[in-house]
Chains A and B, each alone.
Chain A
């Protein structure tokens, strides 16, 4: 049975002027049949990790509900910022970047999750690589929960790949819980075809000393939505995110990243590096939210957007919310074309403008690709970028 998708996603944590069109993103698809509810593939897990496959979306969220008091703990009475939008995502077991409509989609369509549980103090050095080569016409949703118990460490690589000419729909939900002193390294690589609609929704929480490292490359797809909401709930927890993107032709990319800093001495760093070409349209929302009690915390958000065509639309919405005196938050953005200085420097070395652009695109994306701890996937990314430029 086919249906229409009409989702309001990536809602900005506080609303602002409507004319900027950044308050939320719309994911609308007519007449879609979600036949492949989950991606089936053989998954082998290294020792120290337990995998439970095809758990219902609701049941997979139980681990977050069980820890809700710790995840959402607030020291004192909070004063809300003007027109905050938290309420609409309140029912989620763990708040995600794209928000409640993704949960609803999974629940209504029987979407399931694979639950990876990492044993206490298990340092899993070998990355878990979940590579999906999708066909033309694939329409499905897939989810996973990664639960790293006390003192453990795990690396998960999600790679989505298809033919360049392929079309389809892929929706992904990833929910993360890093317990005391646990580290989750999540790597996401998206090289889908030029006709794909894709969303990737991430929600995470870090308990005392817990850490989430996120590396993401959004390089393909026609219409891409990407959101991450990470709760730094307890002392000395951290969220480090590196995102590289490439949007070209008439593609669009809509992002919403939030670091919710509640614990003392938490650390958030969100770096966005990207390239826009053709008539591509990009919206980036990035929020550092220093809640009361987050004393000693720091947050940094940097965007570097290279605009390579006259017809791109680049929207940036960098938000810092703060109700704590003893914090340091900063945001910086540089947006524009290739600088004249660097162009001149390259020309003196005999490199023409077109080649200089190619070099700069590669440099930007490869600086993020370098963080991928799996050689095969890394080469896949580098090859993809080569093909495009």
Chain B
């Protein structure tokens, strides 16, 4: 493999749980997660060689993943030709104690709008308000206001 491909494979290995969990929160079933995950990897690959370290690589990964998930949600269109990815758990079907927690999180996040879903996912990833703002394109102050509203909305649920 070329060095870039090796680096990309390492990046995917390192970030796969983050990417996959974001894709999960924007999907309705396992096929959709696979679609989103694959689409995100393709977008990451396309941008990887051009990535110039102007921001942290994690921030860039979040941005690409979020943009892919949001634009796919808007288009509601999936690629015709899909290659199933080998993640052997079905986050919608498995039933153990851990999964109950995960599914609870899923239900909570699904009740939010797409934009709020993106913000809360980034906050849950421990990103600062500035970083969240940079990724979703709003100011840090706006992020904090949005988070207060999201918190209120979650309490009502």
Do A and B truly interact?
no
B residues with a Cβ closer than 8 A to A are none
